[in-house]
Structure 1
């Protein structure tokens, strides 16, 4: 299990949630909000591991997706 923390001052909550939903085919993702952060606990699915993916890889891609979606959402409002 890998824990990702997204500071709510930096990340859009809807973007973090969208990233989690997008990566659910690859991982079980527990969501929590605590101390000014959106927390995702990522555990790779067996099928994703069998396809050659690692938990680190899935978590990193999810974090990158959340960042991209945050930038996209903020840019749309500018």
Structure 2
């Protein structure tokens, strides 16, 4: 099984709905677990191809940020 990679998205900067949508958009490339803390949306990712882990981290973050901006911010 692939290594787990954890990403933390500040709740002050990112919309939770945007993070959820970004995870769904990348579901074919990795398995995801989501958690909400007081300060962050936490995403644990297990890429189907370990060689894509670094790129997936960046693309997922960019996608979540873009969706957050479209929604008018973290709200």
Provide TM-score, normalisation by structure 2.
0.85
Gap runs ≥5 in structure 2: none
Which structure is larger by alpha-carbon Rg, 1 or 2?
1
Aligned length: 70
Q: Which protein has greater RCO, CA pairs closer than 8 Å, 6+ apart?
A: 2
Name the structure with the higher helix share.
Answer: 1
Provide TM-score, normalisation by structure 1.
0.82
Gap runs ≥5 in structure 1: none
Q: Could you list the per-position Cα deviations for residues 21-63 of structure 1 after superposition, in whole angstroms to 9, with x for gaps in the alignment?
A: 1111000011000131100011101xxx29xx51111111011
Q: Does 1:58 align with 2:61?
A: no
What's the C-alpha RMSD, in Å, of the aligned pairs? 1.6
